[in-house]
Structure 1
Amino acid sequence: MEFGWTPEQRARYDDALTAARRRFAPESGTPGLAPGDWRALGELGLLGASVEPKYGGGGHGALDTALIFEAFGRGCADTGLVFAAAAHLFACAMPIAEFGSVTLRERLLPDMCAGRTVAANAMTEPQAGSDVATLATTATRVDGGYLLDGTKSFVSNGPAADVFVTYATTDPGAGHFAVTAFAVERHADGVRAGEPFGKLGMASCPASEVTFTGCFVPDDNVLGERGQGSVVFQQSMLWERTCLFALYVGLQERLIEQAVEQVTRRRQFGRPLAEFQSVSNRIVEMKLRLESSRLLLYRACWLIDRDEPDTLASALSKLAVSEAALAGAVDAVQLLGGRGYLTGSGAEAALRDAVGGTIFSGASDIQRQIIARELGL
């Protein structure tokens, strides 16, 4: 197995890291996507990194895409903005690219990759979070398409979205084939996005409810086939649970850099903090968690690139990275002391942003259940 990066990968990572540091400031705390920032993400290739070039994307595989998001997670202190880009690409653009018709891809993907439009994934419902097989939203067959009725909750990018990738029950009682996936455009009659939720972190990625009321969706906007919604969703989750969480690998790297700078510069009791074993040990643990989770994530991406996507590898990666990022953020706040507790330090924002990583894309305990199931337990 090859653990090194090619010169092209290194150059791409370095370019992305430099661009992120130069272009993007820490989040303001005000909910919402800044249009200028979103277009810049498109120009820098983040919003279409894994989409085919003929639709405006970069054509990168899973690992190369993850490296780009890792660089942005490290270089951009506005984690919410990078998360919004990842949700847009992996939960929306990739399902359209992999399951949409040619005409749908040609109509939607170029603007999505360029940052001219925003996409949001509408799966979660008030009574269907971890259990996505019990969707109350329905899609009723009519001439030429479907009528959608229902409410989705916790829709990342929802208030700003121009396109929604959503899922609805078309065949109750059909088990694994009960749900169908759709791409719904914001201007369609019967689509209403609610006001942004107040959230603990990631303010730059606004989230809201989205309601569909008698919303007509033409047949051409179906992703895959009728009843294939679970397949579409699980494929998007493979992308999301691997490549999206690369941004949290980058966040861990940024926190370690900040902690090392702090403990080597600050002195207490006549010597640098770094000379206290309890301090250095804490940073060693941060580094250990980072490198362990990084390897799991790279392996999951590598398997996708080999056309051998693995549910176990994806779940292990997501669990390890999200838990490591949260633990690392707590350590960073402790190492920075009072400064780390202050807004504007970077550490407290990273802590708030890291909490969500253990909840969305399948909570940590759900990942443990997936892992147990894959082990035959």
Structure 2
Amino acid sequence: MYEWTEDQKALRHSINEWSEALNTEYPEDMADRDVFLKRWETVKQTGITALLVAEQYGGLEQDILSAMYVMENFGRICDDAGLSFGLSTHIVSTGLPIQRFGNDAQKEKYLPLLAAGEKIGAHAITEAEVGSDAWNMDTHADKNDNGDFVLNGSKTFCSNGPIADTFIVYARTNADAGTLGGFTAFIVDKGTPGFTQGQPMHKMGLQSSTLCDLFFDDVVIPKENVLGKEGQGFSIFNYVMKWEILISFVINVGEMESLLQKTIAYSKHRKQYGEPICKYQAVSHKIANMKIGLETSRAMLYKAGSDMHRKVNSTTSLAMAKVVTSEAFVAASLDAQQIFGGYGYMKEAGIEKYLRNSVASKIYSGSSEVQRNTIASMLGL
């Protein structure tokens, strides 16, 4: 598909040496957040948290295709999908928008720590009553006499929320303006008076990626912490979401590759009626479908990434890539579960977690239904 340079290949493969450390087992009774933070120490050593940050702030300053190439491999070698998801959130939701829209003072203050992984990032837009209708949010920020903002409201399903240090929070700042001018992005620090991080929520999958509610009660946000311009919130979030789809779902491609290889190996080893089960068409066709889904997803994601890199309209290609990858991931997980049979249903086999983790991919970053609405709209329907 692409002719990767030797430097790109070296960067991709440099994280392979961390595979064992990333997959270190911890006691089952250890809290999800503690598992994440333990493994985060390894993540910091890989240098991958610096992937998109400019060199002057301690980053690697990679373009979108190079970043995807590296993150796909991270998804392949790391069995902890919650860690991968939290890493993607950190890289894309916080460091990236500060890198792209922040002023010099904001970059100097936040980017070196985010690039080093010393501070963990998150962003907050979803609210309990609005869901996918994000711009119908109630959270609002009003100017005080000093020109600062006073933030009130709440957010939910904030990935990295319980453990993050730096948040990008989106709030309504002009009730009379529309979506394009009525919202602003703010940089909010952990421990700011009136800002409360809720307790971790229990989830079906992505266990170590903790999420929670956030509460804002008369939180004073200095005008210096406005990200970009006042009223630019929608544009910033739209930019972030494009990158989130590419980075999060290319990680899924790496996970699908790992699952495929595990399934192939098992099908060759497992015998029924005197034959390896891979010799039965009912099994081999499922594996063939897993391969088709993997390669289709990979091709569509890199096509969308190429569109972004070339600065051509990527709205449709991103939406299609997101739908195809998320649904192929679920299908592959179901096929693998069927091939592994009763053994795959057991937790110790490590197969059932792929299904639990994959289900959420059809919901986050814009549900399959929302993505199909986007595609239909771009077709003039």
Partner residue of 1:199 out of 203, 206, 218? 203
Distance between the aligned counterparts of 1:128 and 1:100, measured in 2?
A: 28
3-state SS, counterpart of residue 349 of structure 2: coil
Distance between the aligned counterparts of 1:273 and 1:222, measured in 2?
A: 59
Give CA-to-partner distance per residue, 1:80-126, whole Å, 9 cap, x none.
00100001111111111111111111111111111111111111001
Give the Å deviation of 1:315. Answer: 1.0
Residue 282 (str. 1) matches residue 282 (str. 2): no
Distance between the aligned counterparts of 2:369 and 2:195, measured in 1?
A: 33
Q: Say whether the 8 Å CA contact 2:33–2:163 is kept in structure 1.
A: yes
Counterpart of 2:150, as a letter, is L
Give the Å deviation of 1:12. Answer: 2.2
The 5 A counterparts of 1:1-377 are 3-25=2-24, 28=28, 30-33=31-34, 34-142=36-144, 143-176=146-179, 177-308=181-312, 310-377=314-381
Q: Say whether the 8 Å CA contact 2:21–2:42 is kept in structure 1.
A: no
Distance between the aligned counterparts of 1:71 and 1:20, measured in 2?
A: 10
Structure 1: gaps spanning 5 or more residues: none
3-state SS, counterpart of residue 365 of structure 1: helix
Distance between the aligned counterparts of 1:73 and 1:344, measured in 2?
A: 20
Counterpart of 1:353, as a letter, is N
Give the Å deviation of 1:149. Answer: 0.2
Give CA-to-partner distance per residue, 1:284-305, whole Å, 9 cap, x none.
0000000001011111111222
- TM-score, with length taken from structure 1: 0.96
Q: Say whether the 8 Å CA contact 1:183–1:223 is kept in structure 2.
A: yes
Distance between the aligned counterparts of 2:313 and 2:97, measured in 1?
A: 15
Distance between the aligned counterparts of 2:44 and 2:54, measured in 1?
A: 14
Distance between the aligned counterparts of 2:22 and 2:79, measured in 1?
A: 11
Distance between the aligned counterparts of 2:269 and 2:127, measured in 1?
A: 48
Q: Say whether the 8 Å CA contact 2:293–2:328 is kept in structure 1.
A: yes
Counterpart of 2:99, as a letter, is A
Give the Å deviation of 1:173. Answer: 2.8
Give the Å deviation of 1:40. Answer: 2.3
Give CA-to-partner distance per residue, 1:17-59, whole Å, 9 cap, x none.
3423443336757321543422321221222211111122211
Q: Say whether the 8 Å CA contact 1:300–1:309 is kept in structure 2.
A: no
Give CA-to-partner distance per residue, 1:327-377, whole Å, 9 cap, x none.
111111111111110112221111111111111111111111111111111
Task: Give every structure 1 segment of 4 or more consecutive aligned residues whose post-TM-superposition deviation is greater than 4 Å.
Answer: 26-29
Q: 1:17 to 1:303 in 2, by over 3 A?
A: farther
Q: Say whether the 8 Å CA contact 2:169–2:188 is kept in structure 1.
A: yes
Give CA-to-partner distance per residue, 1:177-229, whole Å, 9 cap, x none.
11111110012111101100000011111000000111111112111111110
- Shifted more, 26-35 versus 237-246: the winner is 26-35
Q: Say whether the 8 Å CA contact 1:80–1:202 is kept in structure 2.
A: yes
Q: Say whether the 8 Å CA contact 1:91–1:236 is kept in structure 2.
A: yes
- TM-score, with length taken from structure 2: 0.95
Tell me how large the CA RMSD over aligned residues is: 1.5
Distance between the aligned counterparts of 1:358 and 1:61, measured in 2?
A: 26
Structure 2: gaps spanning 5 or more residues: none
Q: 1:79 to 1:309 in 2, by over 3 A?
A: farther
Q: Say whether the 8 Å CA contact 1:66–1:244 is kept in structure 2.
A: no
Q: Say whether the 8 Å CA contact 1:242–1:301 is kept in structure 2.
A: yes
Distance between the aligned counterparts of 2:80 and 2:172, measured in 1?
A: 36
3-state SS, counterpart of residue 337 of structure 1: helix
